[in-house]
Chain A
Amino acid sequence: MDTKARQPKLGLREKYRLLTRDLGWDPTYQTRETLYPYAEYEGIKIHDWDKWEDPFRLTMDAYWKYQSEKDRKFYAILDAHAQNNGHLNITDARYLSAIKLFLQAISPGEYTSHQGFSRAGRELPGVGTQVACQMQALDELRHAQTQIHALSNYNRFYNGFHAFVQQRDRMWYNSVPRSFFDDAMTGGPFEFVVAIAFAFEYVLTNLLFVPFMSGAAYNGDMSTVTFGFSAQSDEARHMTLGLESIKFLLEQDPANVPIVQGWLDKWFWRGLRLLSLVGTMMDYMLPKRVMSWAEAWNIYGEENGSALFKDLARYGIRKPKGWEDASKGRDHISHQFMLGLYQWSFGTAFHGWIPTDEEFAWLSEKYPDTFDRYYRPRWNELRKLAAAGTPFKNYGLPMLCQTCQLPCLFTEPDDPTTLCHREVEYKGERYHFCSSHCQEIFDHEPEKYVQAWLPMNQLTQGTSGGGGLENWMKYVNLVDGQDNGDFEGSQDQRNFAQWKHNSVSNQA
């Protein structure tokens, strides 16, 4: 008896259905509510999980095969890079600050994302969605691990990489990404997916990914480039998951629309604030620039984002509330941030520096309306002070935003000469914000944000190592005089120059 002759050949779509969602069943020994306890409370209504579309139809055998091929190549290149002192091929040791920041701030986020998708992959009661989340959980673990591996060889030769684990939980500026991901994970599974898969991966990821990976390529960092290329197809899948989940939620019930809109407002702004780190890296930390933050925002934010939200308008979704202020800040945020990082560089596990003349010219060309008018004078002043042997080190602790946890260093959307400040009183306590949108996020869930572990507010309690700068440096594993401070005169600068020289001369 030939079974194949008896039954029609299955189409790909039908076969994939059988290999995934047909695995699920309606429980009878336990209630659905017991098995999926977190699926209802957010207020999202799903009537038919079968309406979920699987854009990739990736089965595990294909996943293993494809991913292992990518990883084999990745590790081969990494080994060669380590063996051949590939780190000497970077344009300049200042470049290292960008990847130090990446390892400290972004790689731990990949791991958190792995954890969040593991939970969502368990908690959402629809097999198709679960499988998509589970694969992303596995991918995110990959990203965390390949990044740690890619940067491991740099850590052997340069400062600032060695304590990324301790600094993930303790370093002041890392509480920005940490609180971002903690925020997403403490939300329900639907909010997590909208926050990370859609707002972050779909709307904003190009602003992170393209600059970082192109920046690596432009600056001769083969090991990061290799990671980037290797992760690209994963990212494409993740973006599709993001878009699919948002459309699915919006199509399931009109009551979902306002909830989703609220999450988009929140997570767009949360994400944008996080990406100000990236903008700063692009405009200031890459010795060889790829494009300016303003240009990236124009392409990946303004153009792509506008098209996307035009498309979502049919569901009743509008652009996130912070969009206009994001555009207004476009020509300012990276300068304001880098000025901060420079003056606080005694407390960062990467170096700051004053841009060169050539870089001034580039900044002034890319930011014709703002750089010469507002920021060049400040840099000139800093230069003067540095030349006089009295570099501007701001030992005053910065006030942090209760929501995004960045120092409140951004100016009013319509007045670049005034720092933006919002405050509220909640249950007798005062809370401060860097922007209207960070305040709105707080106002929406004050019970959550009052708990924020603000590094500066902890330091002054004496809980971060026992009080005082020296104890704090021990607490964050920061080696004073090596990891921190100005790039000029740093060990990284000296070593790189010496090794590079040795590699092209006949000196031993």
Chain B
Amino acid sequence: MPIELRTITIEPLRNNYDHLEKRFGHKPASRYQEASYDIQPVENLHYRPTWDPDQTLYDPTLSRIRMRDWYDLKDPRQLYYGSYTQARARQQDTEEANFEFVESNGLVMLMTDALRQQALDLLVPLRHVAWGADQNNMMVCGYGYGTTFKQPCVFYALDQLGIAQYLSRLGLLLGGQDALVAGKQAWMEAPAWQDMRRYVEDVMAVRDPVEVFVAQDVVLDGLLYPLVYERLVDDLLAVQGGTAVSMLTQFMTRWGAETRRWSDSVVKTMAAESAENRAVLEEWITQWGQRAVAALAPLARPVAVDTTDALMTEQIAAFAGRAAKAGVTIKLEH
């Protein structure tokens, strides 16, 4: 409790804005609540979009998912702009220190060429996946409904831009500009990457904002981040002498864990809303999940080699377990 230095105490007329008192009662609201609830226009929209006159400007029917109140989809991290940038600034400090440490101690030189090449092959093309994720999340933020649902997506989008930039720097550090050229070539042409690229492009063609959220954030990143950063990098590459790589991707590992907490909770709330929602989510997560598994396995194989199948089975089980906790039953094959 701060010390009251003023001589007077004034009784406020009200504790908060009307819309927050209506939702949360007559008590002071948090900064997250003030920043987020009901701040998107909802009614008396003036004109139809020229880019698609069949839609309204803020249109909850763009998605097959229906919510009585889209503001039920809150962010358990309670991120608004201020808390978001504070959180990322701290993480970026750590990541910068890690880059600095790896560079100044010449840790890259301690890695074998083969190991370094493995890391480059796995990680550099992912910067394009991240750019796809950025655009997909801008789509959800732009066309989704209700600020508490779509605000995390603009954060997510720019996080993915940040991740794409860290991956690019990692590529430059480990292999110079050639590594980025080679990574892009693999992304465009190497057979191992084509299911992944097709996946990302196909998600970009979807115009249902919740389906985009599911296909990108819940499914693809929900499988990719634990597999790539926790298992392939932190476990497998690290034990072979690739601790440096693990340090350079620490931001991604932690970001993935933090973000899954949010995306899981959104799925859970949507699924709990209605049987129809649950059925749609099961359909999407199964369809996109199956494709994501197929796209990820060939990326894991050069690193995990013989253990790839076991690893994929384990990751699928973990993913299905998280979905089940959110109320969505799925079965994916590997």
Chain A residues proximal to chain B, CB less than 8 Å:
1-4, 6-7, 10, 15, 18-20, 22-25, 27-30, 34-35, 37-38, 41, 59-61, 63-65, 67-69, 71-72, 74-75, 83-85, 108, 111-112, 114-115, 118-119, 121-123, 127, 130-131, 134-135, 137-138, 141-142, 144-146, 148-149, 152, 155-159, 161-166, 168-170, 175, 178-179, 182-183, 185-189, 448-449, 451-453, 458, 477, 495, 499, 502-503
Contact = CB atoms under 8 A, between A and B. Distances in A.
Contact of A148 (B8, B39, B205): B39
Contact of A3 (B17, B49, B176): B176
B176 A186 contact: no
A182 B113 contact: no
Given A121-B142, A142-B81, A162-B17, 14 more contacts: A3-B173, A19-B165, A29-B202, A61-B95, A61-B166, A64-B162, A65-B92, A68-B85, A74-B82, A115-B141, A121-B138, A141-B81, A155-B14, A168-B41
A424 to B, nearest CB: 18
Interface in B49-71: 49-51, 57-58
Contacts of B176: 3-4, 6-7
B2 interface: yes
A134 B46 contact: no
By size class, the interface of chain B is: 35 or more
Interface string B1-27: 010011110101111111100000000
Task: In the A-B complex, list the 9 residue pairs whose CB atoms are closest, starting with the nearest.
Answer: A60-B162, A68-B89, A7-B176, A156-B12, A119-B142, A118-B142, A23-B131, A68-B85, A145-B35
17 contacts: A1-B109, A18-B180, A61-B166, A65-B89, A67-B85, A67-B89, A75-B82, A122-B139, A134-B134, A155-B14, A162-B18, A163-B19, A165-B18, A169-B43, A502-B8, A503-B6, A503-B7
B273 to A, nearest CB: 23
Interface stretch (B151-159, B296-304, B323-331): B151-159
Contact of B47 (A148, A164, A168, A452): A452
B48 A451 contact: yes
Interface in B191-245: 197-198, 201-202, 204-205
A83 B2 contact: yes
B279 interface: no
A202 B10 CA distance: 42
A1 B43 CA distance: 63
A469 to B, nearest CB: 19
Contacts of A61: 92, 95-96, 162, 165-166
A112 B41 contact: yes
Nearest to A61: B92
Q: Which of B45, B138, B143 has the most CB of A within 10 A?
A: B138
Nearest to A155: B17
Contacts of B86: 68, 71-72
B130 A166 contact: no
Contacts of B49: 185-186
B260 interface: no
Contacts of A166: 18-19
Contacts of B6: 84-85, 503
Given A118-B142, A503-B6, A30 B201 contact: yes
B322 interface: no
Contact of A64 (B89, B178, B188): B89
A453 B44 contact: yes
Contacts of A119: 138, 142-143
Interface of B: 2, 5-8, 10, 12-19, 31, 34-35, 38-51, 57-58, 80-82, 85-86, 88-89, 92-93, 95-96, 108-109, 113, 127-128, 130-131, 134-135, 138-139, 141-143, 147, 151, 154-155, 157-159, 161-162, 164-166, 168-169, 172-178, 180, 184, 187-188, 197-198, 201-202, 204-205
B35 A452 contact: no
Nearest to B29: A152
B138 A137 contact: yes
Contact of B135 (A3, A130, A183): A130
B50 A187 contact: yes
Contacts of B201: 27-30, 35
Nearest to A115: B142
B168 A23 contact: yes
Contacts of A141: 81, 151, 154
Contact of A30 (B51, B139, B202): B202
A58 to B, nearest CB: 11
A67 B82 CA distance: 9
Q: Which of B2, B166, B168 has the most CB of A within 10 A?
A: B168
B283 to A, nearest CB: 21
Contact of B197 (A10, A29, A189): A29
B32 to A, nearest CB: 10
Nearest to B147: A111
A162 B89 contact: no
A149 B32 CA distance: 10
Contacts of A130: 135, 138
A30 B204 CA distance: 9
Contacts of B13: 156-159, 495
B47 A183 contact: yes
Q: Which of B5, B44, B166, B198 has the most CB of A within 10 A?
A: B44
Given A59-B165, A60-B165, A85 B10 contact: yes
Contact of B5 (A84, A123, A138): A84
Given A23-B131, A141-B151, A451 B46 contact: yes
